[in-house]
Structure 1
Amino acid sequence: MDAPFELPKMTPCVFCELIAGRFDKGLVEETELTLTIVNIRQFEVGQALVIPRRHAPTILDLTDDELHAIMRAVRRLSAAMVRAYLPDGITLYNNNGVASMQEVPHFHMHVVPRRKSSLWGDGPLHIAALERRSQDILDKVQIDIEREREIAEEIRAAL
């Protein structure tokens, strides 16, 4: 189904490039239908993404099999985060369309181990406000590939 809303512009799709093996990323786990990777922005240590292998811009574009595989990966990742980081909670979120702050036009589910001392305030909407307000904050939470790999290993060890 074509999304009834504006999608972000990105050519080529960074997630499709990753799936094709064109660059390195903190890989946590992969299945036939999904990849689980460390998010380059670590507002919370361990923040990760579950993405479908097939290019599907929004949740409306996923097949039932992809949707089920993504949620199984999300549950497995969440359990690993609990073992690895002992968070106070876990936030799941997904943005569909430019108006919801989607940045990459390839479906991805954010899985975030949350702590009471978080920079996030109440959650993802707070992040949207931070992104508009301060590049300094984004610079502080963006990590390099070595740290991505370390976090991926911490989570993999807890799978």
Structure 2
Amino acid sequence: MEDCIFCKIANGEIPCGRIYENESFFSVPDKNQKVPGHSLIISKRHFKTTLDLPTTSGKELLDCIKKTAMKIIKKQKAHGFNLVNNNFPAAGQIVQHVHYHILPRKKGDKSPFVY
């Protein structure tokens, strides 16, 4: 998609340090860090939401999540992480390109994501 920031990152038009990548997904540090180590898992192809992803991409998505989370946990000396995915503007999705947030957590953090 022409004006999509994540498509530009995926295509190499906007350089950024990739944490991990496979054939369908890649991860990068989030420009707007909510916590140290906050990172994004982004689809290399433009899909608006998780509902638009092909079912067959599940294995590569999980691979990217796991490998990225393990690297971040080690680097940040974290004790856990939140995995967040907002779908559609009503749910807080700002960039209309499917992506997942990994937020490393340490014991005692005040996390707004406790359910």
TM class by smaller structure: 0.7 to 0.9
Displacement, 1:117? 5.2
Partners of 1:14 and 1:99 lie apart in 2 by: 20
TM-score of the two chains, using structure 1 as the length reference: 0.65
2:96 maps to what in 1?
105
Extract unaligned runs of 5+ from structure 2. none
Tell me which of the two structures has the higher relative contact order, counting C-alpha pairs closer than 8 angstroms and 6 or more residues apart: 1
Greater helix content: 1
More off after superposition, 108-117 vs 33-42: 108-117
Residue 60 of structure 2 corresponds to residue 61 of structure 1 = no
TM-score of the two chains, using structure 2 as the length reference: 0.88
Greater strand content: 2
How large is the Cα RMSD of the aligned pairs? 2.0
Return the letter of the residue paired with 1:67.
G
Extract unaligned runs of 5+ from structure 1. 1-9, 125-159
Task: Report how many residues are paired.
Answer: 114
Q: What SS does structure 2 have at the residue aligned with 1:84?
A: helix
Residue 108 of structure 2 corresponds to residue 122 of structure 1 = no
2:80 maps to what in 1?
89
Give the fraction of aligned pairs with identical amino acids, expressed as a percent.
28
2:23 maps to what in 1?
32
**Which consecutive aligned stretches of 4+ in structure 1 deviate over 4 angstroms post-superposition?**
none
Partners of 2:74 and 2:80 lie apart in 1 by: 12
Displacement, 1:121? 3.8
Asked if structure 2 preserves the Cα contact closer than 8 Å seen for 1:81 and 1:113, the reply is yes
